[in-house]
Amino acid sequence: MLRLANKRSGFSRQTVLLVIAMISGMLAMAAIRPQQLRCEYRINPLGIDAGAPRLSWTCRSAERNQIQSAYEIIVSDSRHNVENYVGNSWSTGKLNGGQSLNIPYAGKSLQSFTRYYWRVRTWDQDGKASAWSEVNWFETAMLAPADWTAQWISDGSERPVQDSDYYKPDRMPLFRKSFQSGKVIQSARLYITGMGYFEAYINGKKLGDNLLDPGFTSVKKQVLYTVHDASQLVKRGNNTIAVMLGNGWWNPLPFKFFGRWDLRDFQQTGRPCLKAELRIRYIDGSIQTIATDANWLTAPGPITRNSVYTGEYYDANLEQRHWSDNNFDGSQWQPAKKTDGPAGRLMPQMQPPIRVTKTINPVRVYEWKPGIFIADMGQNFAGVASIRVKGPRGTTISLRYGETLLADGAVNLLTTAATQIKKGFIANGPGMPENMFQEDRYTLSGTGTENWHPRFTFHGFRYVEISGWPGIPTIDDIRGLRMNSDMASVGQFSCSDSNLNKLHDVIQWTFLSNVFSVQSDCPGREKMGYGADIAVTAGAYMYNYDMSQFYRKTITDFANDQQPDGGITEIAPFTGIADRSYGGYSGPLGWELVFPALQEQLYERYADKQLLVEQYPALQKHLAFLQSKAIDHLFYWDISDHEAIDTKPEALSASCFYYHCLRSGARIAGWLGKSKDSTAYAKEAQTVKRAIVQKYHVTGTGRFDNATQSAQCFALWYGLTPDTLQSLDVLFKELERHQWHVSTGIFSTKMLFDILR
């Protein structure tokens, strides 16, 4: 029992009454409270360009069956204001409703380069208010293109005239700019992009732990830039900002994918170039900007070759010590040249950055043949190898990568050769190596122990073949750096069956090996964002990881490369591959499916209605294209159920994919309140469904088309069959005929799990 204290206790009556009031308020507090605040699906995003960013939170309660009945948001450009419950930028007041996802900011116009603080409180179903949440923030970057003052710069070099010359040594440029900072710094931000990849330093320290920035996009439409907090790196007095560039996807080798398509024919490309500005805000409110222009200096660096597909060569003897800090004489460097750069709109990179997410120790390193060693990482993954070595100057170490071993014990380099270009399979072109294997090389400087890993490439591998090593490498001399887009984990799985737990673990390794700003089918030979691979696995990815911004980029990638007639490409960013096309460079139906189906899933999982609004014109154009290509409401060719063992039900699957696109379109139009469109798409979908049944259902048997496992799965999953039990019986007989093994492909395997659950 609380007893009112007298003066001798040291507490006044008023103080005790205040304590009682506080305790009473706590006891009367809401049963729910807001947490996990997000802006544009991210926690405290450092750089956004949305004029009306969306705010979200979740509600937590120790009690069951609780709901949010109301909420209040406050936003201010002053943390002090928000901490004192004042929203001078936006204050909603109490708003009734249970909405807690994607509430658009609707306050005063946001200003570029400004940090805004916000918090929220909620009311439970009984009308009791929660405490205010923790203070979160978001920071705007360039809200308009005119906010940029930086220019694109390069080292002035020209692209080779002959394709064969691309395979000769090509030293990547370094850039630097020294400047003075004379006042007390409040904050510093670096806004930067480099084509194709970049690493940035201030006073010799690398900014952040991102790798392979910026993410792969169709740069004629969209170029991503990164925002780094440089507040702790910029100092009063002398400073230096420095950048190293790589080729990335912007300056690719001119080989033809699978011997047929040259990426440079379909994407804007060029020599490595840089655009960056460092914006320093001082305590007195003044701003200093250091932006790329012709006053920056450039020189060739130690990376002599680099390719996303074939690897990186690095000569430590070409390093210029202290090139990225103040202890350097840059008098021999040349002025940078202004250049045009890519044509696309500059936008902040919102998808999760690529990082090293795990360091892997080899299980053994052994000598396979004299002078040739093999490091077994014990696990297949995507990334690069890191080495620690000591040896004579000029010694060159070769690291070649593979996923398996051949019968004679050699590393199998063939399965990860760039788009299958290898001796006896797909011929090479002018100047190309006979085999487009994954290989990194490091040439020693001879100055003590040297540590190195490639910066501007990535590989898929378990085994590393090592040659040229001075002496005998040990398990302490090599590491595997697993790299991937660093999505937050949101799901876990475990059960009493150790085999299923192991399978789940293996799947996660596979998932993470295929997310490098685009979701690929493999991280070795192709590295491209195939629509069908995404369509069939997106649900599984979203159960395990926060894919909200990653897949938002995916949809944007496909929209950026949508064809003039409305067709969606097989791959995005588009690289030229258009198998089983329906005209121009559109993809096959199962690969075009990703555009409507993934939008549908993103809305169901993340309530991303804004994405639907943004992409609705492109969706309409896409569905109109498909309707114009249908023959009596059906389609007849497709890649179909890719990787199925039995004969694929090509025409059936093509028509089913068309039906799926229309069905997704009807739902999306309905969510957007476009009832006329929704009704029209739904009506056409039902017409297509009837046409499929009429053409491919064998009356009275439960069989569809060729009645393979694939065909039966399509019929059952899409709800086509008039007799589910009969069609299931046909499926079971097919499974039995295969001795209870599956012959399904990438689509029907997923369908089979859904059907049999």
Q: Which helix (H) or strand (E) holds 500?
A: helix 498-513
pLDDT at 214 over 60: yes
What 3-state class would DSSP assign to 202?
strand
Strands 345-348 and 222-229: parallel
Look at residue 182 in the predicted model and tell me its pLDDT. Answer: 87
Look at residue 452 in the predicted model and tell me its pLDDT. Answer: 98
What 3-state class would DSSP assign to 520?
coil
Look at residue 17 in the predicted model and tell me its pLDDT. Answer: 37
Task: Give tens-digit pLDDT for 435-475.
Answer: 999 999 999 999 999 999 999 999 999 999 999 999 999 99
Task: Give tens-digit pLDDT for 247-266.
Answer: 999 999 999 999 999 999 99
Q: Average pLDDT, stretch 578-597?
A: 95
Distance of CA 400 to the CA centre of its chain: 26
pLDDT at 191 over 50: yes
Q: What one-letter code names the amino acid at 122?
A: T
Question: And the tokens for 331?
Answer: 């008098």
Look at residue 26 in the predicted model and tell me its pLDDT. Answer: 42
Distance of CA 326 to the CA centre of its chain: 35
Q: Average pLDDT, stretch 719-735?
A: 96
Task: Give tens-digit pLDDT for 131-181.
Answer: 999 999 999 999 999 999 999 999 999 999 999 999 999 999 999 999 999
Euclidean distance between CA atoms 137 and 134, whole angstroms: 10
Look at residue 29 in the predicted model and tell me its pLDDT. Answer: 64
Euclidean distance between CA atoms 637 and 653, whole angstroms: 9
Q: Pick from 478, 575, 581, 455: which is nearest to 525 by CA?
A: 575
Confidence band of 10 (pLDDT split at 50, 70, 90): very low
The predicted model scores a pTM of: 0.94
Helices 594-606, 650-671: axis angle to 10 degrees equals: 40
Beta-carbon count within 10 A of 423 CB: 12
Distance of CA 96 to the CA centre of its chain: 36
Look at residue 503 in the predicted model and tell me its pLDDT. Answer: 96
Buried b (16+ CB within 10 A) or exposed e, 390-411: ebeeebebbbbbbbeeeeeeeb
Helices 746-756, 709-717: axis angle to 10 degrees equals: 60
Q: Which helix (H) or strand (E) holds 695?
A: helix 675-696
